[in-house]
Amino acid sequence: MLKNRIIPCLDVKNGRVVKGINFVDLVDAGDPVEQAKIYDEQGADELCFLDITASNENRNIILDTVKKTAEKCFMPLTVGGGVRTLEDIRNLLLAGADKVSINTAAVNSKNLVKESAEKFGSQCIVVAVDAKKVKENKWEIFTHGGRKSTGIDALKFVEKMETMGAGEILLTSMDRDGTKKGYDLDLTKKVSNLVNIPVIASGGVGSLEHLLQGIKIGKANAVLAASIFHFGEFSIQDAKKYLDLKGIPVRI
């Protein structure tokens, strides 16, 4: 049976982890490779790097980070943040990423998702959707890390992305991101039911119960979280044991 995936996400800026695990025995807590190794040992199902480097001249640092991680961690790795062109995607894949997530450019560059899915295969193209609730049962797409409104309906957008060849949707609720109040379950469920590609729930996890809700109520295929794992509150094993106990299929 296919298992639900638990995906820890690391925010990386100029090659350094911004929000990371606070382990005292870590030689270099800011080194994304060191952090990735811990998640690998804990049995994470995938890893996600979000590159939040602001300046263009430092953008290539992420390639080096991906390269070093892929040499040490033999597990699936998704990398996103600032992906704008086919060349960006190619470089990340060549560095060792298995999947590349496209956010702002999926909205702004009309054919990027289609062209990249054709070129590299749908299996490695993730569309990262940042959605904000605007009224009951209506969500809108935001870009630029959630700062810019687009007026685009989120549900219509994910359907379109699937048609264009996206292999997966990474769905983040901007209302919940950073709140620790749990996923936007209405949104997650609507998107999961709408598309026939896997959906990763993201944004708002503050407890293990939230992961359970994302899968059970939100019908997500995978759940992503950052801070609950980073600050050593819970390990990946804790999350998996909890989900297993609640009857959710996970890889233990």
Q: Which is nearer to other proteins, 49 or 142 (CB)?
A: 49
Strands 5-13 and 222-225: parallel
Question: Interface mask (CB under 8 A) for other proteins, residues 90-119, using x and -?
Answer: ---xxxxxx--------------------x
- Is residue 98 within 8 A of residue 92, CB to CB? The reply is no
| Angle 101-74-211 from CA coordinates, rounded to 5° | 55
Set 51, 88, 130, 184: catalytic member:
130
**11 among known catalytic residues:** yes
Q: Is 196 in the site for other proteins (CB under 8 A)?
A: yes
Beta carbon of residue 199, minimum distance to other proteins (angstroms, whole number) = 8
C-beta of 129: minimal distance to other proteins in Å? Answer: 16
Give the residue, chosen from 23, 30, 43, 59, that forms a contact with other proteins under the rule CB under 8 A.
43
Secondary structure E strands in the chain: 5-13, 16-17, 47-51, 77-80, 99-102, 125-135, 138-143, 148-153, 168-173, 199-202, 222-225
Q: Which of 22, 60, 64, 121 binds other proteins (CB under 8 A)?
A: 121
Q: How far apart are CA 52 and CA 145, in angstroms?
A: 9
**Least Cβ distance, residue 37 to other proteins (angstroms):** 12
DSSP notation for 52-110 = ---SGGGTTHHHHHHHHHHHH--S-EEEESS--SHHHHHHHHHHT-SEEEE-HHHHHST
Q: Does 88 bind other proteins (CB under 8 A)?
A: no
178 binds other proteins (CB under 8 A): no
The answer to whether 250 and 40 have CB atoms below 8 angstroms apart is: no
Question: Is 62 among the residues that bind other proteins (CB under 8 A)?
Answer: no
Provide the 8-state DSSP code for 11. E
Q: Compare residues 90 and 133 and give the one whose CB is closer to other proteins.
A: 90
Instruction: Verify whether residue 64 is a known catalytic residue.
Output: no
Residue 153 identity (one-letter amino acid): D
Determine, following the binding rule CB under 8 A, whether residue 39 of this chain makes contact with other proteins: no
Q: In whole angstroms, what is the distance from residue 224 CA to residue 229 CA?
A: 10
Quick one: 106 or 195, whose CB is closer to other proteins?
Answer: 195
Least distance (Å) between residue 47 CB and other proteins = 11
Binding residues vs other proteins (CB under 8 A)? 1-5, 40, 43, 45, 67, 70-71, 74-76, 93-98, 119-124, 167-168, 195-198, 221-222, 251
Point out the residues that are catalytic: 11, 130
